[in-house]
Every structure is written in C-alpha cells, then in structure tokens.
Structure 1
Amino acid sequence: MNRTPQPLFTGAHAAVPPAYEMLKEEHEVAVLGAAQSQAPVTTTVINIRSETAVPDHIVWSLFNTVFMNCCCLGFVAFAYSVKSRDRKMVGDIIGAQSYASTAKCLNIWALVLGLLLIIVLIIVVSTGSLMIVQAVSELIQNYGGH
C-alpha cells in the first residue's frame, strides 16, 4: 500500500497533509499483532466552527406587520428581519445579529403599542356605548312619559 498521505486541501492547508491513511494502516498492523514502528505518529486536528443560531424573528415581524402595524413598526421590523436572514445566508454572523437585535426591538415596540392601542380602543368603545345607552334611556324617560 502507498504510505504517502495524499493532500486533502490545496492552498493554505497544503503544508499540513492529513495522516488518515497512515493511521488506518497502523491500526490494521496493530490488530494483526505485528510490532508497531517507532516512527512518530502525526495527527491532524480539524476544528469545525459550530453555526451560531441567530434568530431573525421573521415570523414575529410578519405577525406584527399583518396585525400590529402601529406606526409601520411591524413593516420596518419585517425589513430588518429579512436583512438579518440575508446576512446569515452569506455568513456574516455579526451583521445578522445586529439586524436581528434591531428587528426584535422594533417587534417589541410594535407589539406593546399595538396592545395599548387595542386596550384604549376597547375602553373607548365600551365607555362610548355605555354613554349612548345612558343617553337613550334618559331620552326615553324624559319624552316617554308624555
């Protein structure tokens, strides 16, 4: 068998050839019971960078765009969410985190302002309807007794 390791990568990584074949052959020799050579064993360590999960909040932004679009904050949050997703796709994690943070802040403001607007609307409608019912009952009492 060929004991010369073949380079796996070209360019900057070509100076450190992997020793996968040599390790496999030495393992086979050790299993067969033959004496191991005294040559130093070279190893290769490959560091695989784990992907950092960057939430882009696009579903939340879409919800706020459709239902809680107070002052167009939901739409702006949706735009920042799309920018965050684009940055994540090209590998710019820092840019993706920045856009995602802005989208999250805008989503929080859109949700809070939207909920406050709904609560105020409920209060105004309920008090307005109570005032109308009271005014109608007064009219009935005043003019109904004729």
Structure 2
Amino acid sequence: MPKDQHEVVVMGTPHTSTSSTTTIITMPEISKPDYVVWSLFNTLFMNFCCLGFIAYAYSVKSRDRKMVGDMTGAQAFASTARCLNISCLILSVVMVILFITFFATRR
C-alpha cells in the first residue's frame, strides 16, 4: 500500500449523534459496629452478673455473621450486644456507687 492511501476500519458500535454512556458506581458497604472491644472491656472490668461475657459472646457472633455476609443477622446480634453492654455498664456503675455510699456512711 502506498503511503498516501490507508484503509481505516472502524469496529464496534455505529457512531450516532445521540449515543449515551452508562456509568456504574459500586459503593462499598458501610461497616456496622460489632462492639467487641466494649464487650471485652465489660468482661474484664465490669462483669456484673456475667452480662459482659454474654455481650462478648453476642459480639463475636455478630462479627462471624458479618464475615459470612449476613448483615441482618450481624446487626441483630450487634444490637443485642449493645443492649447487654449498656445494661452491664449501668448496673456496674450503680453497684460501685452503692458500695462507696455504704462504706462512706458506715460508722
């Protein structure tokens, strides 16, 4: 082929003036908390009636469900762990205040 003549082959979709493109954006899923650290703290330091240990068990179940991909199950276990952690924290603080009050008012 001489230098002056080149054949151009266009492959693909035909060019039209109203061509539209579609963009797909995949957003990463927002991670839900599983409260493992809070449960571990309550287990080690504020384990009122073993509520901290039970909360830790639910937190680990929540983390396992999250690893499997069951986000609704993970959220349910995390909610239970959060409620147990809150109750453990409140009951432990109340118990400490009662002990301090008892020993401070004792003659």
Q: Taking structure 2 as the reference length, what is the TM-score of the superposition?
A: 0.79
Secondary structure of 2:16's partner?
A: coil
- Would you say the 8 A contact 1:52–1:93 is kept in 2? no
Percent of aligned pairs sharing the same letter: 53
- Where do 5+ consecutive residues of structure 2 fail to align? 1-8
1:44 deviation in Å? 4.1
Aligned to 2:55: 77
Larger helix fraction of residues = 1
31, 38, 41: which is aligned to 1:63?
A: 41
Aligned to 1:41: 19
Coordinate RMSD, CA, aligned? 2.4
Letter of the structure 2 residue corresponding to residue 64 of structure 1: N
1:112 deviation in Å? 0.5
Cα deviation 1:67-113 (Å, max 9, x = unaligned): 11001000000111111111111111111110110000000000000
Q: Taking structure 1 as the reference length, what is the TM-score of the superposition?
A: 0.59
- Where do 5+ consecutive residues of structure 1 fail to align? 5-21, 23-35, 132-146
Aligned residues: 99
Summarize the Cα distance change of 1:41–1:73 in structure 2 as closer, same or farther, 3 Å threshold: same
Aligned to 1:89: 67
Cα deviation 1:30-76 (Å, max 9, x = unaligned): xxxxxx93276363443524313211111111111011100100000
Letter of the structure 2 residue corresponding to residue 84 of structure 1: S
Structure with more contact order per residue of length (Cα contacts < 8 Å, sep ≥ 6)? 2
